[in-house]
Amino acid sequence: MINMFQPQVGAEELEAVSEVFDSNWLGYGPRTKAFEEDFADHIGVPSDTVLFINSATSGLHLAMELLGIGPGDDVVLPSVSFPANAHSVAASGARPVFCDVRPRTLNPSVADIADALTPRTKAVMLLHYGGQPGDIVAISALCEERGIPLIEDAACAVGSSVGGTACGTFGDIGIWSFDSRKIITTGDGGMIYVRDAALARRAHRLAYHGLDERGAFAAAANEPHRWWDQAIQDIGRRLIGNDLTAAIGRVQLRRLPGFIERRGAIMAEYDRLLADTENILCPPRLPAGHVSTNYFYWVQLDADLRDVVAEDLLRSGIYTTYRYPPLHKVPLFGAEADLPGTDAAEVTTLLLPLHQALTDADVRRVARNLVAAVERRTLRSAG
C-alpha cells in the first residue's frame, strides 16, 4: 500500500533517544528547553514565547483559556478544519461560527472571514490548508483593525511563510502539530507560540499545574530553606512535553529543509505527470512570496467521479483521502450556514499520497493509476 502519510525517522533520532536514556532524565528538562529555543529561532520569535506541549489539540484548548473565551462568545473558523478546532471552541462554552473557503485553495479569503464576523466574535481561528498560507496577511490585518485576536492553526505549516514571516506568527497565538502524520514528528506533541509576553508566561503556568515556573519548584530552588514550596498562581493542567520526544523533535527540525525540498520535488512531479490531463485539476499555484511546506497535494475531479476513483485507487494499493469533511454539517455543532465553496470542495477534492519517503516510482504509479481510473470511469459515465 502506498500510504497518504508516513514519518521518516531513523538512526539520528534513535541516537538522540539513546542519549536521553543515558541522561536518566526523561521529563521536561534541558532537551525540551533546547527544542523550544531551536523552534523559536526557526519561526523568528523570542524563545520564552514558545512552549513544547503534548499535542496541538492541547494548544487549541489552551488558546481558548488564554484569551478568556467562553459562554456568549463566538469564534469564527473555516468549516474545512480539523474537528479539534471546533471542539476547543465548543468545550469552552463558546459558539463555533463557520466561514466559507475558496473551492480551489480550500483556504478562506479575507471576505469569507469578514462575512462570518458577528457582534459576539471573540476570536478568529485560521487553518493553513495543506501548509499553504492563504490570505493570512489580509486576514491578520482585518483582525488587528477590528481588535479581534487571531489564532493560527499552523499544524500543517511548520515551514510555511509569506514574505519571510513564518505562518503561526501573524496572529496572537500560533499552534503547530508534531503527531505521527506531520512533516516533522515527535510521535505526539506540538508547539504553541503566544505573542504577548504576559500571556506567554501564563501559558507556561497553565501548562504545568499553575506553577509559577516550568521547573516545578524553581521559584524556591535557590533557597536553602524549604526549597520544595510551590508557587501556584493558576488552576492548571499538565500539557508540557518531555525530553524524550523533544530529542526526536530537535533532529526532525534539523531535517526539515530536506523534507520540504523532497516534498516540493514530489509535488512538481505530480504537476508534470498530471498537467493538462482531461478531467483532473491540479492545485493552484502559490502567489508570489508564499512558501508552503507542501503538506497536501490535491486534485479535483467531477463530483460523480471523485468517490469511485478513490475506490479504484484503493483497490490498486494506493490510499487517498479527503480532508477535512466540513464541520458546519456536523449536527453536534448545531451550525446553520450556506457555504457553497466548502460544499463544492467537499465533493470534488481528493488528496494524493505525499510524504518525503515516496520514491519517484511511487509517484509515477499514483499518477498513472489516477489517470487510468479517471479515464475508465469517465468512459463508463458517458456510456
The grid coordinates of residue 341 equal 465553496
Residues carrying an active site annotation = 182
DSSP per position, 320-345: -B-----GGG-GGGT-----HHHHHH
Q: Are 126 and 153 in contact (CB under 8 A)?
A: yes
Q: Are 272 and 345 in contact (CB under 8 A)?
A: no
Q: Are 298 and 104 in contact (CB under 8 A)?
A: no
For CA atoms 304, 305, 311, 312, the dihedral sign is positive
Residues near 101 by Cβ (< 8 Å), separated by ≥ 6?
Answer: 78, 79, 80, 107, 108, 112, 129, 339, 341, 342, 345
Which residue type does 378 have?
A: T
Count of beta carbons in the 10 Å neighbourhood of residue 235:
10
